[in-house]
Amino acid sequence: MTTGAIDQPKSVGFRPDGTQWVIGILLILGALAPVFSPMFARKPIPLNLALEQGVTPVRIVTLLVVMALWAYWVWRQPGAGKAFRVPLLAVLTAFVVGAVVLVLAAGQDKSLGDRLFLALRGYGAMLDGAFLKKAALTNTLVASTPLILTGLGVALGFRAGLFNIGAEGQYVIGAIFAVFVGYAIHLPPIIHPIAVMLAGMIGGGLWGAIPGILKAKLGAHEVINTIMMNSIAILLADWLINNLMKDTGSSSAVRTPIIDTSANLPQVVEIFPKMTGNVLHLGFFIAILFAVAVWWLLWKTTIGFELRTAGSNLDAARYAGIRAERTIILAMTLSGALAGLAGAIQIQGTTRFMPTFFAAGYGFDAIAVALLAFNHPIAVIPAGLLFGALQTGAEVLQIRTGASKHIVSIIQALILLFVAAPALIRWVYRLRATPDAGTEQVAMTRGWGG
Amino acid sequence: MEILKAIFDSGLWHAALIAATPIALGALSGLFSERAGIVNIGIEGMMLISALTSQLFAQYIASKWMQTPMEPYALALAALVGIFTGLLVGWFHALLSIRFKVNQIISGTVINIAALGVTGALYNLYLAGGIAGGVPVSPGTFPVIRIPVLSQIPFFGPVLFENQPVVYSMLIVTLIAHYVLFFTPWGLRTRAVGEHPRAADTLGIDVYRVRYLNVMIGGALAGLAGTWFTLEWVGVFNLNMTGGRGFIALAAMIFGRWTPFGAFIAALIFGLAQALQIKAQTNGMLLPFTGIEIPYQFLVMAPYILTMLVLAGFGGRAKAPAADGIPYEK
């Protein structure tokens, strides 16, 4: 089957060099300094208070202007392409169209002016809920952690030419393994969380390996098999939680026992007691670490080269002496392990036990995150953050304006649409295609990967 | 022996056929689109949107006429609205993947995510908080139509000829799809475009037109499947009520090797699984010779495992149309 692939773009449009990064980060830190400086004063105040008091409209505008000026400066450098402006315009357009939807959905009984105001307030509320309000930023980081990890898994699969729709099942099985090691096996503090995470990765990895083996050895479609295994995983987990792993002590809801405190992921509050009122745990940083690790694996190791080669052209890979079967199994296992890790971290950092309804549609969102990131491991981080921010912002949007939080799903879809369709954006903005327009296409599967 | 007895139960097969209806229609929807070379993983979203619009329309005329449950012909009108919605979404998918050459898997994912958002927002706006004020009022469901003589046949009568209209239409559409795809010039063109668009183009077939129309036909079929959820099954719209059946339909399509009859049989297997599960949840089912009760989760799981085994054993190398998923450049 065809897997269209142009592996590495010839030129990435927005590519600051080392000095530019340093200057840019210094500038942004400088713009942020007034917000954070009270934390380092003689009498320090907690971060959330600092954020609450320090984030004023003037400062936000200043920060945006500084960032824009820096970006413009980088862009002006010779050799920098213009490819980056399409994704940027894409996100912008999605929000503009989203505003129109908000205006339309604001209620028929109001005047147009009121509706426009409501749409603006809606976006304000989302921004507030996702970044600015007390503990909102940490909520966003926590919400984006599983999105980043499952997105990484799907992106890795895509890079190897495999379409893993099974992140959901791998996430659930990872969580089952993790919660079992969490409550049934008692280990000392530092080792226990690591063991739980490893268990999650093994669980997810096994669940991913099965369709991998079936595909490599017998040629069965991974798309169907991963869909089937999603359902199997959810049913298996449901049975386990209702029977073997049921917490008999809990009368309120059907769930597993709570994991040992030694198995929890450290909360940021425990390390920095000053930062009260947030739910951030180490999981987010682990996700970042894994994003870098996947990037390193894909582009700096032989295995990664084999994966990407198999992804762009399986026949060529075979001809070059790459063992395609092994590569397929490996890619599916790693992909599943990342989703399993997401499940483990969700247990360790947030829920502490496993309820019967745990899946929450991550398998679906993971595909969107991976696609939005053009299947690049590092780009998965901002993509996951964006989706996490939209999710946390949506709740606040609904509470403040009464508009349905489902509107955020529409915005998510629009972002994905415009990012995926550079031709659409060019058509809307009457942009001419750059000579290297072909480089915007990413390596990814097109068909059923059979 | 309880399992054997259960398997030859016409009530069970009837329930299986009903549960198979949206899956089979979804699979046929994917079939038309993929035979013309356009991958469609947005069937789930198409179904969901159509389920909502048909319900909204039915609700609207119900509120105008102040009459629930509604007359069947009014419901048929609502079903047409659902089908038309599916057609429109199909057109959108075709526009994205043919005109703007968006990666078709992305386009399908966009439709799926957008469907969740659009239906959720409209549900909150018009159904949950709107006209009815709270829980939406059901405009009623299609009546069961008994076909006079045929429904007297033992076993097959009650299974095949005592159904609601969407089930009948699924059976008819399966037959028509087989005929159209394999015995008409249009079907030949469709398959040519899906296998080798360049060759088809050389012979004077308008590749874009054939693809557009087939994706739109597929959309309309997904729309028909969507109306089953609201107008035939539940009677009201629930959030995310399609519950992954669009994806199971895709599996059925591939399992059935991109043929209408194959897709129908695959859908029936999934439908049987669901029927078995419902039966087992109410009656319980024992493992043969042991007297141990099988947990219903494993009963539900069985067809999924079966699908995987069959795929691994016999149907492994199912061949998709050769040009499936590849945009055509003139």
SS in 3 state form for A124-174?
Answer: HHHHHHHHHCCCHHHHHHHHHHHHHHHHHHHHHHHHCCCCCCCHHHHHHHH
Stronger pLDDT, A380 or A420, i.e. the higher one: A380
| Side chain identity at residue B92, one-letter code | F
Q: Which two tokens stand for residue A74?
A: 């980088």
CB-based contacts of A125: which residues, under 8 Å, 6+ apart?
A: A393, A396, A397, A399, A400, A401
Q: What is the pLDDT of residues B15-38, one digit of tens each?
A: 999 999 999 999 999 999 999 999
Split at pLDDT 50, 70, 90, the class of B155 is: confident
Q: Which range among A223-227, A400-404, B113-117, B118-122 shows the weakest confidence by mean pLDDT? A: A400-404
Output the pLDDT for position A436: 45
Does residue B86 register a pLDDT over 80? yes
Q: Which of A234, A232, A217, A223 is nearest to A172 (CA)?
A: A234
pTM: 0.80
For the purposes of burial, counting CB atoms within 10 Å of the CB of A200, is it exposed (0-12), middle (13-18) or buried (19 or more)? buried
- HEC string of chain A equals CCCCCCCCCCCCCCCCCHHHHHHHHHHHHHHHHHHHHHHHCCCCCCHHHHHHHHCCHHHHHHHHHHHHHHHHHHHHCCCCCCCCHHHHHHHHHHHHHHHHHHHHHCCCCCCHHHHHHHHHHHHHHHHHHHHHCCCHHHHHHHHHHHHHHHHHHHHHHHHCCCCCCCHHHHHHHHHHHHHHHHHHCCCCCCHHHHHHHHHHHHHHHHHHHHHHHHHHHHCCCHHHHHHHHHHHHHHHHHHHHHCCCCCCCCCCCCECCCCCHHHCCCEHHHHCCCCCCCCCECHHHHHHHHHHHHHHHHHHCHHHHHHHHHHHCHHHHHHCCCCHHHHHHHHHHHHHHHHHHHHHHHHHHHHCCCECCCCCCHHHHHHHHHHHCCCCHHHHHHHHHHHHHHHHHHHHHHHHHCCCCCHHHHHHHHHHHHHHCHHHHHHHHCCCCCCCHHHHCCCCCCCCCC
Q: How confident is the model at residue B286 (pLDDT cuts 50, 70, 90)?
A: low
Tell me the β-bridge partners of A267: A281
pLDDT band at A109 (very low <50, low <70, confident <90, very high): low
Q: What local confidence, expressed as pLDDT, does residue A438 receive?
A: 42
Contact between B255 and B313 (Cβ < 8 Å) = no
Which residue(s) pair with A355 in the sheet? Answer: A255
Q: Which of A305, A291, A289, A297 is nearest to A8 (CA)?
A: A305
pLDDT value for A441: 45
Read off φ and ψ for residue A436, nearest 5 degrees: -100, 35
More confidently predicted of A447 and A109: A109
pLDDT at A205: 97
* Averaged pLDDT for residues B123-150: 73
Within 10 angstroms of residue A131's Cβ, the number of other Cβ atoms is 17
Instruction: Supply φ then ψ for residue B145, to 5 degrees.
Output: -105, 120
C-alpha B239/C-alpha B284 separation (Å) is 29
Touching check for B101 and chain A: CB below 8 Å?
Answer: yes
Nearest residue, CB atoms, B297 vs list A239, A413, A427 = A239
**Is the CB of residue B261 less than 8 Å from the CB of residue B174?**
yes
Interface check for B306 against chain A (CB to CB < 8 A): the answer is no
Whether residue B64 lies within 8 A of chain A, CB to CB, comes out as no
The pLDDT of residue B131: 41
Q: How many CA atoms lie within 13 A of A184 on its CB side?
A: 12
**Interval A111-148: pLDDT, tens:** 777 777 777 777 877 877 777 765 778 888 899 999 99
Q: How far is A345 from chain B (nearest CA, A)?
A: 25
Q: Using alpha carbons only, how large is chain B's radius of gyration in Å?
A: 20
Which residues are B162's β-sheet partners?
B146
% of chain A residues with pLDDT over 70? 77
Q: For residue B119, which residues of chain A lie inside 8 Å, CB to CB?
A: 406
Chain-chain contact of A413 with B247 (C-beta, under 8 angstroms):
no
CA angle A93, A96, A100 (to 5 degrees): 135
Q: How far is A411 from chain B (nearest CA, A)?
A: 8
- Tokens read off for B40: 């469609």
Can you give the residue ranges of every domain in chain B? 24-243
Range ranked top by mean pLDDT from A313-327, A373-387, B155-169, B174-188: B174-188
Asked if A450's CB is within 8 angstroms of B121's CB, the reply is: no
Bridge partner residues of A103 (DSSP): none
pLDDT above 60: residue B180: yes
- Return the top range by mean pLDDT from A419-433, B85-99, B154-168, B243-257: B85-99
For residue B114, list chain A residues with Cβ-Cβ distance below 8 A: 409-410, 413-414, 417
Distance from CA of A409 to the nearest CA of B (A): 4
Model pLDDT, residue B262: 93
Q: Which of A404, A406, A448 sits opposite B324 (nearest CB)?
A: A448
Question: Residue A46: what pLDDT?
Answer: 64
pLDDT, chain B, mean:
85
pLDDT band at B133 (very low <50, low <70, confident <90, very high): very low
- Predicted confidence band of residue A11 (pLDDT cuts 50, 70, 90): very low
Between chains, do B248 and A227 touch, taking CB under 8 Å as contact? yes
What confidence score (pLDDT) does residue A445 get? 54
* B43 alpha-carbon distance from chain centroid: 8
Residues A236-255 have pLDDT tens digits of 999 999 888 888 776 677 88
Q: Domains of chain A by range and CATH?
A: 13-80 (no CATH), 137-380 (1.10.3470)
Contact between A2 and B307 using a beta-carbon 8 Å cutoff: no
pLDDT averaged over every residue in chain A:
80
B309 touches chain A (CB under 8 A): no
Interface test with A, best of B103, B123, B276, B326 (most A CBs within 10 A): B103
Mean pLDDT within A329-339? 96
- Name the residue of chain A whose CA is nearest to B96's CA: A421
Q: Is B40 on the interface with A (CB under 8 A)?
A: no
Residues within 8 A of A (CB atoms), B 120-179 only: 120-121, 123-125
Using alpha carbons, select from B5, B11, B7, B15 the residue that is nearest to residue B271.
B15
Q: Please determine, for residue A399, whether its predicted confidence score (pLDDT) is greater than 50.
A: yes
* Percent of chain B clearing pLDDT 90 (strictly above): 42
C-alpha distance from A302 to closest chain B C-alpha (Å): 29
* DSSP conformational letter for A349: I
Q: A414-450: per-residue pLDDT in tens?
A: 888 887 777 777 777 776 665 444 444 444 555 554 4
For A147-164, the pLDDT digits (tens) are 999 999 999 999 998 889
Q: Is the dihedral of CA A195, A198, A200, A202 positive or negative?
A: negative
Q: In this complex, do B114 and A227 lie within 8 Å of one another by their Cβ atoms?
A: no
Residue with the larger pLDDT of the pair B110 and B186? B186
* Contact (Cβ atoms closer than 8 angstroms) between residue A247 and residue A353: yes
Q: Which of B39, B118, B124 sits opposite A410 (nearest CB)?
A: B118
My answer on whether omega of the bond before A9 falls inside 30° of 0, hence cis, is no
pLDDT for B146: 85
Could you read off the pLDDT of B242-255 as tens digits, one per residue? 877 888 898 889 88
Residue A412 phi, psi (nearest 5): -60, -45
Encode pLDDT of B295-316 as tens digits.
878 877 877 887 788 777 655 5
What is the spatial distance between Cα B135 and Cα B123, in angstroms, rounded to a whole number? 10
- A6 pLDDT tier (thresholds 50, 70, 90): very low
pLDDT at B45 over 50: yes
Amino acid A55 reads V
How confident is the model at residue B2, as a pLDDT? Answer: 61
